[in-house]
Amino acid sequence: MTASRLSDRELLVELEPVAAAQLQAHERIAEEWFPHDYIPYSMGRDYDSDPWTPDQARLEGVAQVAFEVNLLTEDNLPSYHREIHQMFGHGDGAWINWVHRWTAEEGRHAIVLRDYLVVTRAMDPYEVERARMAQLQQGYDHENQGTLTGMAYVAFQELATRVSHRNTGKYSGDPVADRIMARIAKDENLHMRFYRDMLQAAMHIDPSAAVEAIVDEVIGFEMPGAGMQQFRTKSAQIANAGIYDLRIHHDDIVWPLLRHWKVFELEGLDEHAERRREELAEFLTQLDATATRFEEKRAARQARRAARDEVATG
């Protein structure tokens, strides 16, 4: 394979055989599942004769917030399909087949999450629907839609979503919710593996361009739900609960992929890519320090809260 800089279209053509093999591997190991199998429909009752009231909520506090964020993130699938179609929808072969397969699998996630919330009355169904309308009308756009930056972003994003979903299910304290989130997380993990391995293949073609794309996405990373209403506030609540915070992002998202790609071991990078790799190392040091400060502040808040509770109950 040549190490010259290729256009996005040329790169996709070069990687088509790898994409075909990865798609076949995905189809062999992906498990068929059905959203309706995960929903306790016996709990359902009519909303017109028995309207929703807050005391019916199956989830409370941060668990509600995390489920809403995860659901609205999945709801934006039309925008994500447009994005990956623009990035990877090359020709009529493996790439476009992957795009459609990915979209079909992702579509189950919002179905099962919404059905769970509505049937169990875990949240106010009217507010959930209003939030969906607002989210989809706003849509989602990811800048720098080149092939390599796209691969890097979706690899990090799929892994982040897997961890967020899994931790949300555990935090909920509801075995039904936990089972649903564990099932979704399996899909997200397989999707991450496809993008991760495609980027690794691209690194053999142009390691310098691939490293620059990785640096761009690590430094500028945002979760796909970043544009939703009150996202900063909700993200802070989720972080304080330990569902998804900077430490998790640093330790469980960024570094596993960097190690897999051997980003800091690659040789033969051009001068610009070497500088970007140094920039990445500096950023990771800062991210680690910021994560540590957040953990320390959170621990201090928890200690103060525990002391107040002890005084109140003593």
- The confidence score (pLDDT) of residue 229 equals 82
When the candidates are 3.40.50.1460, 1.10.620.20, 3.10.100.10, 3.40.950.10, the CATH number that belongs to 8-313 is: 1.10.620.20
Q: pLDDT tens for residues 162-171? A: 999 999 999 9
Q: pLDDT tens for residues 272-286? A: 999 999 999 999 999
* 1 pLDDT higher than 60: no
CB 110 within 8 A of CB 81: no
- The confidence score (pLDDT) of residue 144 equals 60
Tokens of 164: 């967020």
Closest CA to 296 of 254, 247, 252: 247
When pLDDT is averaged across residues 118-136 and rounded to a whole number, the result is 93
Q: pLDDT tens for residues 177-221? A: 999 999 999 999 999 999 999 999 999 999 999 999 999 999 999
CB 9 within 8 A of CB 90: yes
Q: pLDDT tens for residues 219-245? A: 999 887 777 888 899 999 999 999 999
Q: How far apart are CA 203 and CA 268, in angstroms?
A: 11
Longest CA pairwise span in the chain (Å)? 72
- How do the domains of the chain map onto residue ranges? 8-313
Task: Give the count of beta carbons closer than 10 Å to the beta carbon of residue 20.
Answer: 15
Tokens of 188: 């997200």
Q: How far apart are CA 314 and CA 308, in angstroms?
A: 10
Phi and psi at residue 108, in whole multiples of 5°? -70, -25
Phi and psi at residue 228, in whole multiples of 5°? -75, 160
Closest CA to 59 of 113, 107, 106: 113
Task: Give the count of beta carbons closer than 10 Å to the beta carbon of residue 123.
Answer: 26
Closest CA to 67 of 138, 188, 170, 192: 170
Percent of the chain with pLDDT over 90: 82
Q: Tell me the pLDDT of the chain averaged across its residues.
A: 93
- The confidence score (pLDDT) of residue 3 equals 47
Q: How far apart are CA 100 and CA 39, in angstroms?
A: 26
CB 221 within 8 A of CB 142: no
SS3 206: coil
* 2 pLDDT higher than 70: no
